[in-house]
Amino acid sequence: ILMTAKEEALFNFLAGVIDGDGTYNGRANRINIFCSQQYLFEAIVIILLRLGINYQVTFNRNIFNIQIVDKLDEIFSYTARVKGKSQRIIMDTRFFYAKSLLADLKYRANCQDRILSYLNQNLLIDAKKIQNYVIPQIAGSPENHQLTKIINSPLKMYRVTLQKKVQKQKVYNLEVEKNHNYLVFTSRLTPVLVENCHAAIISRELGIPCLVGTGKATKILKNNQEITIDCSSGAEGKIFSGKVPFEVKKYELKTLPKLSTKISLNLGAPDIAFQTSFLPNDGVGLAREEFIIAEKIKIHPLALYYYKQIKSQKFHLPKFLLGKNLGRQEIKKSELNGIIRKIDKMTVEHKDKKEYFITELAEGIAQIAAAFYPKEVIVRFSDFKTNEYRQLIGGSLFEPQEENPMLGWRGASRYYDPRFKPAFEMECLALKRVIETFGLNNISVMVPFCRTPAEGKKVKDIIRNYLKDAKIYVMAEIPANALLIKEFLEIFDGMSIGSNDLAQLVLGIDRDNAGLAKIGNENNEAVKKMIKDIIQACRQQNKYVGICGQAPSDYPEFADFLVQAGITALSLNPDSVIKTILYLSKSKEEKSS
């Protein structure tokens, strides 16, 4: 509501908060708002950002203190209890790092040596000084200079601390650019732009319409403009000007046609497992661990496994975890202290930090397995890439920097590697607890990105140390999986086709590069031929073959192709289950007639 509310409504909301829990300090010329509720705190910050009001936040004894020095007279025109008359602000409230903004003007605009001292000491300089002393020194047309545009904009710079890792945060607003930028809030409620390429997948699971990769939406669309977003086609979203009339279709689930092909679900968020289980389904074809680890656990598993060594600060970690492997010469004690503080705060209930990881992961998986019991739930082991693992707390200690993480140290290659094997064994222990302690024996497991049969054999041997009876599947997402399918099926109980990565590797297209999507997708004949070969080989060996990639959810005709090829199960995103069942049923009727 606040992101789209009109300015008068924002001022009235802010005035109500100030009258309720605010004060005015006339001597300091400052309004203070005291707030103990996180959601209200975030609402206040959204209002201040939208109104272009500068603010500062302090936190003491669970109370947020938001201090305001801008637009006081305008605010007082709306308040009823808290009143005052603001004084002229002597010091500016908008500052910039001199070295970042003025380095190229070091000598040309150094008015009476004033600017040079700011540059040499790397100080913040206020906008008025730049306006009064720097811009007049610029030759040509100062009014058209880039520096003038910056000063006349609402931009300003904060003092910030470089972070090696960034935890995932709630998303409040998004700037849809070519790199999928999202506006999030840090713990101090300062807006930060971050990258999140999986936003569309998560939003689909949560039932929230989401469009990414629009390229120029923020340049075309204006604040408060009414638009209609249509995400119903799956593969390509549409944006319409104004409110487009629509109708809601309701389906009686009991009357939906039955298909010979199993329909299972892709799921990652345990919180929506039970409500999703009421959709017509034959279980879960892909339960991702990544969402549980990133949103619930938030700590790199090796940081928990080696917690005591990190806390001792004697760097008694195995040599292969540190140094040249990570492209670093030393680890700062301040960095280790920060990691330890965060781990201690989040794992206060667990003396053994490994138990925190096992417990949280087991509970998240169990929530999904219980919702669909006794139907089969296929849990895929973690498939983070190195850049994603580095974002977890402590991740920078254990993850190398890779030029192309999509084709790097991921999937099966991690699980038997001495550098990561302890973490993989904690995943196995979590699944063992779900099956043996919680009694949810409807779980099967799946190994992602397995490049060779030799890798598959090593990983399977580790899994069998913990899971004696569970079925073990492998993702078919690398051309080698199709070319050596007989060898892979001698090791695993079946395959689930990962069409996203398979299409990427067959066509040589980086799936993170939206500009290359026009070349081809899973409907490409080369990709379909490889998928058909996988299905036929699995059926000949009487092994399970499903698909958990995005394609059948996005392209109904592709789902029809899979059914005709004889696939055992289609694992779909929850929002596409009904329409896919109806499409396949209609297609079957048309073919039979």
Mean of pLDDT values over 264-286: 91
What count of other Cβ atoms lies within 10 Å of the Cβ of residue 581? 23
First to last CA, the chain: 51
Summarised one tens digit per residue, pLDDT across range 469-528 is 999 999 999 999 999 999 999 999 999 999 989 998 999 887 666 666 677 788 889 999
| Catalytic residue, candidates 35, 428, 450, 548 | 548
Average pLDDT value for the chain: 81
Closest CA to 471 of 348, 355, 379: 379
Mean of pLDDT values over 3-24: 91
CA 77 to CA 65: how far, in whole Å? Answer: 22
- pLDDT grade, residue 551 (50/70/90)? confident
| Half-sphere exposure for 524 (CA within 13 Å, toward CB) | 19
pLDDT for 191:
38
Six-digit token string for 142? 């100062």
CA angle 380, 492, 421 (to 5 degrees): 55
Q: Is the peptide bond before 422 cis (omega within 30 degrees of 0)?
A: no
Active-site residue, 198 included: yes
Kindly state the helix (H) or strand (E) to which residue 128 belongs, with its residue range. helix 127-129
Report the relative pairing of strands 30-35 and 22-25 from DSSP bridges.
antiparallel
pLDDT for 199:
55
| Catalytic residue, candidates 197, 198, 231, 350 | 198
Instruction: Answer yes or no: pTM beyond 0.85.
Output: no
| pLDDT at residue 20 is higher than 50 | yes
| pLDDT at residue 464 is higher than 90 | yes
Q: What's 299's DSSP letter?
A: B
| pLDDT at residue 107 is higher than 70 | no
Active-site residue, 145 included: no
| pLDDT at residue 84 is higher than 80 | yes
Mean of pLDDT values over 60-72: 85
| pLDDT at residue 57 is higher than 60 | yes
Burial call 392-403: b when 16+ CB within 10 Å, e when fewer? bbbbbbbbbeee
pLDDT for 319:
54
